């Protein structure tokens, strides 16, 4: 009599459970990557920037400080003109006036005092960066932090300083810096230059006009 032997392969239930759990975690990991990528893209700057100029002041001071930047072509960007050649004012901060936003019918306060100007292309020559104390609610001097970052090829801090604006209508030349044709920083100074129209003689604004209007 011939006995046929059958090979029965037994498996450990614990091994099966461990394998299925690992498979599930792997699947969740790939799904997470798929959903995370679009979010990351939304946070990217959707334009080319070469330099970012940022002026910020304490969140507890509801004062209005303006950033004025002039290009080598004498084009000036500010809240009065948010685009000037390669210059662009990305954020015009008005103290506490634009700190409140409405989301799903609810008002939320995001206290941030910051103005940002970007240089989106390279023009060789001198750039002038001024700060102007436009309006004061605190009736106190305001300390403004100014930083300039070079974006390409990697983000790099090239300048940082703190300046004090003592009273309304104070305007200071925070920095004048020079770029070469490759966009590299080659020089700087702080020789005063007026960029706002508030301190100029009306005759300079409109030559030949008695009123200057």
Can you list the pairs that 110-114 forms with residues at least 24 positions away whose Cβ atoms lie under 8 Å?
111/59, 111/60, 112/56, 112/59, 113/56, 113/57, 113/58, 113/59, 113/61, 113/63, 113/65, 114/54, 114/55, 114/56
Read off the pLDDT of residues 100-154 as tens digits, 9 standing for 90 and up: 554 556 655 556 899 999 999 999 999 999 999 999 999 999 999 999 999 988 9
Read off the pLDDT of residues 52-69 as tens digits, 9 standing for 90 and up: 999 999 988 889 999 999
3-state secondary structure of 192: coil
Phi and psi for 17 in degrees, rounded to 5? -65, -40
Q: Using omega within 30 degrees of 0 as the cis cutoff, is the peptide bond preceding 50 cis?
A: no
Please determine, for residue 46, whether its predicted confidence score (pLDDT) is greater than 50: no
Please determine, for residue 93, whether its predicted confidence score (pLDDT) is greater than 90: no
Please, are residues 67 and 133 in contact by the beta-carbon 8 Å criterion?
no
For the four alpha carbons of 26, 31, 37 and 40, in that order, the dihedral sign comes to negative
Strands 125-135 and 114-119: unpaired
pTM of the model: 0.67
**In DSSP terms, which residues pair with 39 in a beta bridge?**
none
Please, which residues have CB within 8 angstroms of residue 149's CB and are 6 or more apart in sequence?
Answer: 51, 52, 54, 155, 156, 157, 158
Domain ranges (residues) in the chain: 51-195
For the four alpha carbons of 42, 160, 90 and 124, in that order, the dihedral sign comes to negative
Q: Which residue has the higher pLDDT, 19 or 171?
A: 171
- For domain 51-195, give the CATH number: 2.60.60.30
48 pLDDT band (50/70/90 cuts)? confident
């Amino acid at each position: 009599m011939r006995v046929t032997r059958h090979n029965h392969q037994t498996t450990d239930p614990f091994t099966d459970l461990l394998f299925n759990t690992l498979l599930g975690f792997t699947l969740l990991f790939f799904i997470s990557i798929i959903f995370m990528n679009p979010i990351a893209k939304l946070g990217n700057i959707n334009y080319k920037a070469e330099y970012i100029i940022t002026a910020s002041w304490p969140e507890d001071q509801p004062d209005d400080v303006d950033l004025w930047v002039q290009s080598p072509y004498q084009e000036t960007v500010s809240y009065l003109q948010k685009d000037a050649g390669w210059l662009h004012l990305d954020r015009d901060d008005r103290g506490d006036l634009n700190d409140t936003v409405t989301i799903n019918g609810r008002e939320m306060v995001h206290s941030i005092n910051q103005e940002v100007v970007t240089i989106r292309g390279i023009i060789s020559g001198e750039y002038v960066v001024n700060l102007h104390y436009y309006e004061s609610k605190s009736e106190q001097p305001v300390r403004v932090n100014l930083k300039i970052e070079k974006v390409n090829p990697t983000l790099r801090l090239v300048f940082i300083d703190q300046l004090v604006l003592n009273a309304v209508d104070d305007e200071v030349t925070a920095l004048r810096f020079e770029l070469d044709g490759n966009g590299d920083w080659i020089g700087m100074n702080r020789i005063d230059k007026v960029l706002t129209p508030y301190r100029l003689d009306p005759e300079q604004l409109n030559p030949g006009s008695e009123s200057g209007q």
